[in-house]
A and B are shown apart, each in its own frame.
Chain A
């Protein structure tokens, strides 16, 4: 038992025959060849275990001591390897089986999408596929669940919340879809009234009686198109429909820094692959410590599983993206141009879809602490008509009073 270390180097069980086999053993011991468990078989023979030695020196020593050796057993790693070499098929089979199991254990077997309709589910699956996540993909190449959540939620606008979780070889995607309330349409008799203070530019009336004219100043709440058609004696109520384009005015304030710093990705990236065994990390690919001076780093850890067990190995992939800090210097004129653009955009975001900015003029500009402050006013053409239901009964009573 105390000679188990010898397994790695290999050892022999041998019979030493000769008139004086002790001589051979003494010679071996003098030459620092390890020997153990020596037994006398008969008068001319000793059986012993010995470590492997060069066959040439062995022959020389045997000749010197007038002995012969008969090998009974060959043990240890070198012989085992030789034996395995002759059974290459079995070895290849076992290795192939283990690698197959390893690959299958680290494969994505299923992706469940819950809470999404068929169209959204299809969309989610295509986005996941772009991120290397599909049924049958290897888990090593799949990004983190938080990254997946990010990728999904930036691309899907119809979703209020999306959660990606991993359960063994299955991924679960839970989706909460946005449910818009159906826009309430006033379908009954209605007027169109002004939403804002404006000067009427033009009217497009589909149904109803226009009450205002072009270039007329209107206050919020003022009736633009009346739903009451006909004269006072015989009137009927309709649902007024149409567009009233009015000229409105807005004030905006914008601040633009004259000097600004940006971080831009140069497009260069560097990947590092590592295998971590407990606390020991073995780099597989990519030896550079810091490939770029300024970079963003993304680290993905994937523990390697074997069947139901977690192996102590972890696969780590690090991606370095080169980042460049760019400084932008604006002249005052450029800054003004940009400020106008920005203020127009800011305004248009707030207004209804078909609105148009007719003109924008700068009222005031000043430079404080390297930033340009601009106050400007814009003239806008926009639809100011808003439907408002008519209380028919009340209206009729009113008319009765009048006629009476």
Chain B
């Protein structure tokens, strides 16, 4: 059933021209250069340190690693990270 609904949502987003992240509730990740990363539609902060940020998403986790991380803004739906981003990785268990 769940697969069905995601399929439908994907199809709807495709047809209606509404961005997928709005329809599906998946994260939208914006990376500006290497120094600013904003993530919308995240669920929770799991861990944060100078070199690493772990976020929980709707499905799976997002691991970001780099240097001199500062959480510039943290809101319910959006998080802005500053520093030097080396790696953005999705982890699905």
B47 & A22 in contact (Cβ 8 Å cutoff): yes
Q: Is B31 an interface residue (CB 8 A)?
A: no
Chain B: minimal CB distance from A116 (Å): 74
A22 & B48 in contact (Cβ 8 Å cutoff): yes
Q: How far is the CA of A26 from the CA of B76 in the complex (A)?
A: 8
Chain B: minimal CB distance from A49 (Å): 10
Contact of A26 among B44, B49, B70, B72 (CB under 8 A): B44
With A29-B76, A30-B76, A32-B76 as contacts: A37 and B45 at CB distance below 8 Å: no
A36 & B76 in contact (Cβ 8 Å cutoff): no
Q: Is B1 an interface residue (CB 8 A)?
A: no
Contacts of B47 in A (CB 8 A): 22
Contacts of A40 in B (CB 8 A): 48-50, 69
Q: How far is the CA of A46 from the CA of B2 in the complex (A)?
A: 39
Contacts of A37 in B (CB 8 A): 70-72
A23-66 at interface with B (beta carbon < 8 Å): 25-26, 29-30, 32, 35-40, 43, 46, 48
Q: Is B46 an interface residue (CB 8 A)?
A: yes
Q: How many residues of B contact A (CB 8 A)?
A: 15
B46 & A38 in contact (Cβ 8 Å cutoff): no
**How many CB-defined contacts (below 8 Å) exist between A and B?**
37
A36 & B74 in contact (Cβ 8 Å cutoff): yes
Q: How far is the CA of A35 from the CA of B48 in the complex (A)?
A: 14
Chain A: minimal CB distance from B26 (Å): 20
Closest chain A residue to B54, Cβ basis: A22
With A22-B45, A22-B46, A46-B48 as contacts: A38 and B74 at CB distance below 8 Å: yes
Chain A: minimal CB distance from B63 (Å): 14
With A37-B70, A39-B70, A40-B69 as contacts: A29 and B50 at CB distance below 8 Å: no
Chain A: minimal CB distance from B19 (Å): 24
Q: How far is the CA of A35 from the CA of B47 in the complex (A)?
A: 16
Residue interface bits B55-82, CB-to-A below 8 A is 1, else 0: 0000000000000011111111000000
Contacts of A46 in B (CB 8 A): 48
A38 & B70 in contact (Cβ 8 Å cutoff): yes
A38 & B76 in contact (Cβ 8 Å cutoff): no
B69 & A25 in contact (Cβ 8 Å cutoff): no
Closest chain B residue to A48, Cβ basis: B71
Chain A: minimal CB distance from B61 (Å): 13
Contacts of A38 in B (CB 8 A): 48, 70-71, 74
Contacts of B70 in A (CB 8 A): 37-39
Closest chain A residue to B69, Cβ basis: A40
Contacts of B48 in A (CB 8 A): 22, 25, 38, 40, 46
Closest chain B residue to A23, Cβ basis: B45
Closest chain A residue to B75, Cβ basis: A29
Contacts of A39 in B (CB 8 A): 50, 70-71
Contacts of A36 in B (CB 8 A): 71-74
Contacts of B45 in A (CB 8 A): 22, 25-26
Closest chain B residue to A47, Cβ basis: B70
Closest chain B residue to A2, Cβ basis: B73
Interface residues of A (CB under 8 A from B): 22, 25-26, 29-30, 32, 35-40, 43, 46, 48
A sample of 10 cross-chain residue pairs with beta-carbon separation below 8 angstroms, ordered by A number, consists of A25-B74, A29-B74, A32-B76, A35-B71, A36-B71, A38-B74, A39-B50, A39-B70, A40-B48, A40-B50
Counting from the closest, the 7 A-B pairs by CB-CB distance are: A38-B71, A40-B49, A22-B45, A40-B50, A35-B74, A36-B73, A26-B45
Interface residues of B (CB under 8 A from A): 44-50, 69-76
Known: A39-B50, A39-B71. 5 other contacts (CB 8 A): A22-B47, A22-B48, A37-B72, A39-B70, A40-B69
